[in-house]
Amino acid sequence: MKKTKEQVFEKIPQHIAIIMDGNGRWAKARLLPRMAGHRAGAENLRRIVTACTDFGVKYLTIFAFSTENWKRPADEVNGLMDIFVDFLDKEIPKLHAQGVQIRHIGSRKELNSNLKMKLQNGIEITRGNDRLVLTLAINYGGRDEIVHAVQEIVKQGVPADAIDELTIKEHLYTVDLPDPDLVIRTSGELRTSNFLLWQSAYSEWLFTETYWPDFNKESLKKAILDYGTRSRRFGGRTKKEEEEAYNG
Ligand code: IPE
Ligand code: IPE
Ligand code: MG
């Protein structure tokens, strides 16, 4: 079979997580309202999902709304919720046809009933797909997730001595997901803003100045190539270092 251009990567991150930031500044730079930036951001997510399937990424987790984003003016919060509903309405059939499985992480109880229903619907329809697992972090916070996990463990009466890292991991919203190999944050901000605190302990991080609506397939390709140059040690030594056995 003819090799496609996409197959050039030596090392592909199995799981990419993205903090999709910079929609507001993207709109401001174009003298557009903030909502236009959020809409452009949602359209871009569509393109990046396809790019991930083309490149062979198996898990994509995107930060769409944090537990702290409720602090924004009601207009913006409501506008964002409408965009999520529209996105699901429009995209679920296409995502399903593409073999994408939709998941959600975060607390669902604060979301409006329409959005909860659309999310549940998308999750159910796409449950059997395995080309790409797309996890939407909506009303997600890493600290909230850890608090929730501890509450669940206590409720189950697990004795203190029996709690280890696996116990915590199994009570996080991400229970079925591997840890992200690569976390990307767009728009030049250099912080986690409460995203995947536990899971990203040994992730590779990539920060780019590009605003989310402009982060395209080429940007993703560059990020994957950059990832390929990283040496992941997880606190140990690389195979190469072991082979060299240089202990001087
Ligand atoms: C990211 O864009 C989207 C959300 C946080 C919902 P922002 O709205 O944070 O855009 P900037 O950071 O103000 O440019
Ligand atoms: C992080 O972006 C949350 C999302 C992208 C959904 P923010 O724009 O909310 O982060 P801060 O406030 O600049 O840290
Ligand atoms: Mg922001």
In a domain, 57, yes or no: yes
* pLDDT at 181 (0 to 100): 98
User: Are 8 and 223 a contacting pair, CB within 8 Å?
Assistant: no
Distance (Å, whole) CA 178 – CA 98:
22
Distance (Å, whole) CA 161 – CA 14:
33
Strand order in the sheet with 100-105: 100-105, 132-140, 59-66, 15-19, 182-185, 204-207
Ligand 1 mutation pick, 83, 187, 211, 215, max ligand atoms within 8 A of CB: 187
Please give the positions annotated as active site.
21, 69
Dihedral pair phi/psi, residue 188, rounded to 5° = 85, 0
Using DSSP's 3-state secondary structure scheme, residue 21 falls into coil
User: Which residue, by CA, sits nearest to atom 3 of ligand 1?
Assistant: 21
In a domain, 153, yes or no: no
- pTM for the whole thing? 0.96
* pLDDT at 148 (0 to 100): 98
Amino acid in the structure at residue 136:
L
**What does DSSP say about strands 100-105 and 204-207: parallel, antiparallel, or unpaired?**
unpaired
Q: Which residues contact 130 (CB under 8 A, 6 or more apart)?
A: 99, 101
In a domain, 1, yes or no: no
CA neighbor of 175 nearest in space, from 184, 166, 183? 166
* pLDDT at 69 (0 to 100): 98
Count of domains in the chain? 1
Partners of 51 in the β-ladder: none
In a domain, 149, yes or no: no
The single-letter DSSP state of residue 16 is: E
pLDDT in tens, the chain (248 residues): 444 556 579 999 999 999 999 999 999 999 999 999 999 999 999 999 999 999 999 999 999 999 999 999 999 999 999 999 999 999 999 999 999 999 999 999 999 999 999 999 999 999 999 999 999 999 999 999 999 999 999 999 999 999 999 999 999 999 999 999 999 999 999 999 999 999 999 999 999 999 999 999 999 999 999 999 999 999 999 888 788 876 65
Structural domain that includes position 57: 10-143+175-247
In a domain, 199, yes or no: yes
Q: Which residues contact 135 (CB under 8 A, 6 or more apart)?
A: 59, 60, 61, 62, 102, 103, 104, 105, 174, 177
Q: Which residues contact 215 (CB under 8 A, 6 or more apart)?
A: 20, 44, 48, 184, 186, 208
* pLDDT at 7 (0 to 100): 59
* Ligand 2 interacting residues, C-beta cut-off 6 A: 19-21, 63-66, 69, 189, 191, 193
Could you give the residue ranges of the DSSP H alpha helices within 110-216? 113-126, 142-155, 165-169
In a domain, 168, yes or no: no
Residues in the chain: 248
* pLDDT at 245 (0 to 100): 73
* pLDDT at 2 (0 to 100): 47
* pLDDT at 1 (0 to 100): 46
- What CATH number did the domain enclosing 82 receive? 3.40.1180.10
Distance 120 CA to ligand 2 centre (A): 25
In a domain, 128, yes or no: yes
In a domain, 151, yes or no: no
The verdict on the CB of residue 187 being under 6 Å from ligand 1 is yes
**Structure-block tokens of residue 115:** 């959005």
